[in-house]
Amino acid sequence: MPHSRSARKRVKQNEKARMDNKAIKSDMRTKVKNTRQAIADGDVERAKKGMVEAAKKLDKAAKQNVIHKNKAAREKSHLQRAVNDLEKGK
């Protein structure tokens, strides 16, 4: 339990930041999951559209320091490779 006024304020700020980060991360994961599902279903158009949305969410999460920028780059790379393989018919 915080004792000082500033410590009480920090608890509130940390909780708000945690909830904001949780929402951003959840939305990002949903877009990535939808793209992976489209790839698994073999739907090229939906996979391409999902890739654009997922990349946007990953970049935004990295910019806001919710995830590391290298993780965003890695996720985008893996998704793009899968979409490209799907397009080529592998």
pLDDT tens for 12-40 read: 999 999 999 999 999 999 999 999 999 99
pLDDT category of residue 83 using cuts at 50, 70 and 90: very high
Q: What mean pLDDT is predicted for residues 39-67?
A: 96
The pTM of the full predicted model, rounded to 2 decimals, is 0.88
Query: What's residue 90's pLDDT?
Result: 67
Q: What are phi and psi of 66, to 5 degrees?
A: -80, -40
Q: For the chain, how many structural domains are there in total?
A: 1
Directed axis angle between helix 5-41 and helix 44-63, to 10°? 160
User: Which residues constitute the domain of residue 31?
Assistant: 5-88
Which CATH number do you get for residue 49? 1.20.58.110
CA dihedral sign, ordered 83, 86, 88, 90? positive
Count CA atoms closer than 13 A to 58's CA, side-chain side: 23
Query: What's residue 1's pLDDT?
Result: 87
